[in-house]
Every structure is written in structure tokens, then in C-alpha cells.
């Protein structure tokens, strides 16, 4: 339809000679006190020679190499190799090293979804997350809504992600409040018996390792 045909009842009352409003640039958002403080601390760290800008950039680039694909590789291997899974459940750092993945010094614990238990991870206090294994957390993981709702109405939050857990399965919420980080090992989807590691890896999503969803089914892969 032509531009003039549409219904103007939605407050679209500007003159047609004016341009539509622009999306604001990043700089147009208010600069908060904490942003100023973070910037000031970063500048002081460089100025005092504690960390150079090159070192800072190298660390950011290193963190950018951390992504869900690393965790997905780990999970797919646990589906194929029960002994490897046993090692993951007791020592994620050592098991990851077998795959050439260095998860650093913050301990990560793997928690396994079974027929009887579905696990989901939250950090009610802030945004603790197994970054070295699956990358930076999504914004929603840090939101107040996710942090407050997951601990007290986990099944409703899971429903919001399209995940329905039957009532005969325990939903277990893990609140990552201290020194450990948690990664969920989702269950291997049915109908993947003859799949190789590469194909299985594609079924393991970031959300399934947080526990808000299951691994992808073969039909949706």
C-alpha cells in the first residue's frame, strides 16, 4: 500500500516533510557516574604503568576467543565418551585441557542433566558465569529479572525460554554466589545415536549450557 493509506492512529502525526527520528548514537546515552569511574580507573592503571594499553587490548582479544563453541565441544565429547564425562564431572579444568582448552584459575564445576534432574544456573548477586569456557554472558543473564525470577520461579523462566520440564523431573537451580562457576551438561538428544562429534557439537547451544533450554533436537539442527 502507499504511504498515505496507512492508519495514523498510532501517533504518527509528524509532518511528512520531516525525517523519521534517528536511532540515538551510543554517545547520546547518558554517561553514568559508574561509567566515568570505570574509565578513570582504566586510565589510572595505564598511567601508573600497572597494565599497558597493549596488555589490556590483548586480554580483551583473548576473552573474545572464548565462546560457546568451546563448551559445546566439551559437552559433545561427554556424550560420546562416558569416561571423559566422568573426568569432566570431577575436574573440568583437567578435562578441558585434554581438548586443548585452558579455562584458567577460576574453578568451573559441571552439572549433568539426567532423566530425574534439570539444572539451571543463575548468579543472584551479580553475573558470575563460566566465561573461560563459554564466553561472555548474554545481557539477560545479568538482568535483575533473570536473577530474581530464576531463583524463585524457575519453571516460569524456563517456559519463557520455551522450555517445559515435566513435573516428575526435579528443577534444580544453582546460585553461583561464591568462588565456583557452573556449566550444565545438557542431555544428548534422542535420535543422534550414529552422529559424529562434529554434528553433535552443533546441537549444544549456549542456553543449553546455562540450563534455560535443552540441546537442540536433530529435527531443528
Cell of 183: 556449566
Using rule CB under 8 A, residue 176 touches another protein? yes
Three-state DSSP at 58 gives helix
Q: Report the C-alpha gap between 158 and 191 in whole angstroms.
A: 24
The reply to whether 208 belongs to the active site is no
Backbone phi and psi for residue 184, each to the nearest 5 degrees, phi listed first: -85, 135
Tell me which residue of 156, 146, 89 sits closest to 121, measured CA to CA: 146
The reply to whether 123 belongs to the active site is yes
Using rule CB under 8 A, residue 78 touches another protein? no
The reply to whether 128 belongs to the active site is yes
Q: Which stretch binds another protein (CB under 8 A): 63-71, 92-100, 132-140, 165-173?
A: 165-173
181: which strand partners?
A: 108
Question: Smallest distance from the beta carbon of 48 to another protein, in angstroms?
Answer: 16
Q: Are 97 and 104 in contact (CB under 8 A)?
A: no
Q: Which of 96, 123, 176, 213 is catalytic?
A: 123
The reply to whether 126 belongs to the active site is yes
Using rule CB under 8 A, residue 127 touches another protein? no
**Nearest-5° Cα angle at 211, 205 to 215:** 40
Closer Cβ to another protein, 179 or 194, answer by number = 179
For another protein, which residue of 52, 177, 196, 217 counts as binding (CB under 8 A)? Answer: 177
The DSSP bridge pattern shows strands 181-185 and 108-112 to be parallel
Q: Are 187 and 203 in contact (CB under 8 A)?
A: no
Binding mask 85-124 for another protein (x = CB under 8 A): ----------------------x-x--------------x
Using rule CB under 8 A, residue 172 touches another protein? yes
Cell of 43: 586510565
Exposed, middle or buried by CB within 10 Å (0-12, 13-18, 19+), for 216? Answer: middle
For another protein, which residue of 91, 180, 216, 218 counts as binding (CB under 8 A)? Answer: 180
Using rule CB under 8 A, residue 45 touches another protein? no
Using rule CB under 8 A, residue 73 touches another protein? no
Burial letters 171-192, b for 16+ CB under 10 A, else e:
eebbebeeeebbbbbbbbbeeb
Using rule CB under 8 A, residue 159 touches another protein? no
Closer Cβ to another protein, 124 or 163, answer by number = 124
For another protein, which residue of 66, 85, 174, 188 counts as binding (CB under 8 A)? Answer: 174
Catalytic residues: 123, 126-128
Q: Which residues bind another protein (CB under 8 A)?
A: 107, 109, 124-125, 151-155, 167-168, 170-180
Amino acid at each position: 500500500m502507499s504511504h498515505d493509506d496507512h492508519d495514523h492512529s498510532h501517533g504518527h502525526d509528524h509532518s511528512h516533510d520531516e525525517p523519521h527520528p534517528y536511532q540515538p548514537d551510543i554517545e547520546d546515552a547518558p554517561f553514568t557516574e559508574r561509567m566515568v569511574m570505570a574509565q578513570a580507573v582504566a586510565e589510572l592503571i595505564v598511567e601508573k604503568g600497572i597494565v599497558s594499553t597493549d596488555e589490556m587490548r590483548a586480554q580483551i582479544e583473548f576473552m573474545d576467543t572464548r565462546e560457546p563453541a568451546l563448551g559445546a565441544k566439551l559437552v559433545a565429547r561427554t556424550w560420546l565418551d562416558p569416561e571423559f564425562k566422568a573426568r569432566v564431572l570431577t575436574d573440568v579444568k583437567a578435562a578441558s585441557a585434554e581438548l586443548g582448552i585452558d579455562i584458567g584459575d577460576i574453578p568451573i564445576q559441571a552439572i549433568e542433566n539426567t532423566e530425574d534432574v534439570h539444572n539451571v544456573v543463575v548468579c543472584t548477586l551479580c553475573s558470575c558465569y563460566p566465561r573461560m569456557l563459554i564466553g561472555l554472558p548474554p545481557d539477560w543473564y545479568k538482568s535483575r529479572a533473570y536473577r530474581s525470577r530464576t531463583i524463585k520461579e524457575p519453571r516460569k523462566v524456563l517456559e519463557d525460554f520455551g522450555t517445559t520440564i515435566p513435573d516428575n523431573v526435579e528443577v534444580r537451580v544453582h546460585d553461583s554466589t561464591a568462588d565456583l562457576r557452573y556449566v550444565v551438561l545438557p542431555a544428548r538428544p534422542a535420535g543422534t545415536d550414529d552422529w559424529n562429534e562434529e554434528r553433535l557439537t552443533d546441537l549444544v547451544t549456549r542456553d543449553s549450557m546455562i540450563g534455560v533450554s535443552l540441546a537442540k533436537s536433530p529435527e531443528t539442527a
